[in-house]
A and B are shown apart, each in its own frame.
Chain A
Amino acid sequence: MKHTLSILVENKPGVLTRVAGLFARRGFNIESLAVGLSEDPRLSRITIVIDGDEHPVDQVTKQLHKLINVLKIRDLDPGGQVSAELLLVRVAGEGEKRTEALQIAEIFNAKIVDVDRRQLTLRVVGTNDKLEALLELLQPLGVLEVVRTGTVALGRGRGG
């Protein structure tokens, strides 16, 4: 099962290296990682998605807790979190393909952020599943380039 860890860290140089380095050293694989400032400019929040079947999440969080700059870790309950990821995708879009791409974009509430005669770039925000579904539909049209931010998530109700 996938686990989403929300990690509150001190906003200091090298902290991301420590977190990422720990994953590498202990042999834990990261599925996605997103980092940015939190509500407090002295703190950053890292969202990491890992495969819990592959590594005991308990061991991952305990090792993370040992990092001096890590303040708080929450293993977000899948039902008790709101999460989103941003994706930019450039697809081939000439003629009929363009119409189809636009239709798909509309269904997924994606914005066209760049367009020329041959291709267009969509921007979409959603859960991991939604983005996967979008990419699958776009695949036959010709996906030229994809970039994703990785999931960011917060616990519902109380802070994370």
Chain B
Amino acid sequence: MTPDKRMKGSRALVAALEDEGCDVIFGFPGGVAIPFYDALYDAKGLRHVLVRHEQGAAHAADGYARATGKVGVCTATSGPGATNLVTGIATAYLDSTPLVAITWQVRSDLIGTDAFQEADITGITLPIVKHSYLVKDTADLARTVHEAFHIASTGRQGPVVIDIPVDIAHGEIAYHRQETLDLPGYKPTVRGHIKQIRAAARAINEAERPVLYLGGGVISADAAPEIFKLAELRKLPVATTLMALGAFPETHELSMGMLGMHGTVTANYAVHECDLLINMGARFDDRVTGKLKAFAPHAKVIHADVDPAEIGKNVAPLIPIVGDVKHVAGALCKELEGLEWSPERTQAWLGRIAERKKEYPLHYEDPEDGKLAPQFVIQEIDRVTGHDAVICTDVGQHQMWATQWYTYIRPRQFISSGGLGTMGFGLPAAIGAKIGRPDATVIDISGDGGFQMTMQELATAMSDDVPVVVAILNNGYLGMVRQWQDLFWNKRYSFTNVEVQPDFKLLAEAFGAVGLRATEKDEIEPALREAISCGKPAVIDFRTSAEENVYPMVPAGQEITEMIGGSPKRGRKS
């Protein structure tokens, strides 16, 4: 931008977004958003993607952010437009993804009068944002945008809401990019304390049964190379959370896969037996720990996190390190390189883990109802895409199978609502991811339940020419709830049967997309190949077994040793 050019607030907003490197904004217009949409009409460097429901805009921006590491931006009009973003903002908050949500507000002088389409969106979103703004002066607009991007993308990342009354968009200002931010209360600690890092390095060096426990912080800090080096330096077996899938290649011999409720036997028992648990950017979530008191009972704990409030929240670590995982892991490597160490120290441990991997692999049997095994469908997706696709998911059984049966080899390859568990996330997130990474094959693995929550976004994929593949594992049930009803509620399948459903093949075709169906094993690969290569959005209806369960499973709030279905014989306690 030329400095100090006078322009309308709405145009200044576009300029500020462009100056922040924002190249795409997902949104839906409305009355008070019109001035901004008028400015977007001839914005050169800023693409607008028109979604079909504002929730889709927030998820798409989130998916874009997770796939690229950049800040995702969405916009909606006042009132219902803004409230429709709420689920998407909460999703980004729980998974700490960088999102800027711009909402439009009624005229400043009407705020508080219950005006048409008025909602107090900064109030509504207060508990689910990293920060929020209600802009009161056009002169503050540009600075607010720069601050919002800075806050969203640094420290522990998260969503920032900017609520802008329509008169602010009409006002005129002299726009110039502000380099200095006025945030006296915001100074995230990035560099870990060297004393703590040295203590951690000594503990790692002395451990006989170490486990490296990776969380989403590894991915948001782009710390995968440092973590890889750290794991190899001391031969640390690696367990990842759902948020960290891909942070360490699952093809590597040190990888134990995911831990937690539906994690592998190997990962969960390794955590149970380890003498040192090295948590890098994870938060001891209840889906990981089960019964907290019985979690990692023999372990000293090292916990590195950029958010000091996570340290000691659930588990009191022996060695806390506040800092960005990239820096901490890098510094740990440096310290460890200066220490003497012999591989014999952990040899027995690594041997036990290798044995357990062999003895307790993930396992399923061909379904008795003759339908497709959902696990097999995902194995086929893995094979056909050569571990190389970006996989987005909804929430439920298909999500857990997607964590188990696809092989993740690099960060930002698995995009899923982990913390909030938002059904309907998959398709819009896949659209965002595909726009962020047009060269990648992007597959939304969904269920028949979740897909129906945001399936209108197929129209977005069509109109914006975003060739995503939707793989519906269609079992006619809200499968995860049905599984709990099966296991813990005496098979009383209360309102989880959704077999009355649209014909997904015809539905896709009605949108102008490619619709496919696979009911036999040998139909899976051709359907996938066609969907991936057709160059259009495609939906594949995979008819999967109705009552298949996800195993292994540690029931909520229980100890790892209470795991169900961990052994090769399904259903037996291991």
Contacts and interface: CB of A to CB of B under 8 A. Distances in A.
A67 interface: yes
A71 B136 CA distance: 22
Contacts of B307: 66
Given A21-B127, A68-B131, A68-B151, A58 B312 contact: yes
B122 A9 contact: no
Given A10-B185, A68-B151, A63 B127 contact: no
Contacts of B312: 56, 58-59
Contact of B122 (A14, A56, A66): A14
A68 B127 contact: no
Interface in A35-68: 56, 58-59, 62-63, 65-68
Contacts of B127: 21, 25
A59 B183 CA distance: 23
A69 B185 contact: yes
Contacts of B136: 13
B309 A68 contact: no
A19 B307 CA distance: 18
Interface residues of B, number: 20
A17 B134 CA distance: 14
Contacts of B338: none
Contacts of A21: 126-127
A3 B186 CA distance: 24
Contact of B184 (A13, A62, A67, A71): A71
A62 B308 contact: yes
A123 interface: no
Interface string A1-42: 000000001100110011001000100000000000000000
Interface string A134-155: 0000000000000000000000
Contact of A9 (B134, B156, B185, B311): B185
Majority secondary structure of chain B interface residues (helix, strand, loop or mixed): loop
Contacts of A14: 122, 134
A13 B140 CA distance: 14
B313 interface: yes
Nearest to A66: B309
Contacts of A67: 185
Interface string B130-150: 110010100000000000000
A50 to B, nearest CB: 16
Contacts of A10: 184-185
A70 interface: yes
Contact of B126 (A17, A62, A69): A17
Interface string A69-110: 111000000000000000000000000000000000000000
Interface string B175-192: 000000001111000000
A71 B182 CA distance: 12
Nearest to B188: A66
A63 B309 contact: yes
Interface string B113-130: 000000000110011001
Contacts of A66: 130, 156, 307, 309
B185 A59 contact: no
Contacts of A71: 184-185
Interface in B262-311: 307-309, 311
A31 B161 CA distance: 31
A71 B130 CA distance: 16
Contacts of B123: 17
Nearest to A43: B184
A47 to B, nearest CB: 18
B185 A13 contact: no
A45 B126 CA distance: 21
A25 B127 CA distance: 7
B134 A68 contact: no
Interface string B306-323: 011101110000000000
A78 B312 CA distance: 24
Given A14-B134, A59-B312, A68 B126 contact: no
B184 A65 contact: no
Nearest to B128: A25
Nearest to B310: A62
A56 B313 CA distance: 9
Contacts of A62: 308-309, 311
Interface in B311-349: 311-313
Given A10-B185, A71-B185, A65 B126 contact: no
17 contacts: A10-B184, A10-B185, A13-B136, A17-B123, A18-B126, A21-B126, A25-B127, A59-B309, A59-B312, A59-B313, A62-B311, A63-B309, A66-B156, A67-B185, A68-B183, A68-B186, A70-B185
Interface of B: 122-123, 126-127, 130-131, 134, 136, 151, 156, 183-186, 307-309, 311-313
Given A68-B186, A71-B184, 12 more contacts: A13-B134, A17-B126, A18-B126, A21-B126, A25-B127, A59-B309, A59-B313, A62-B308, A63-B309, A66-B156, A68-B131, A70-B185
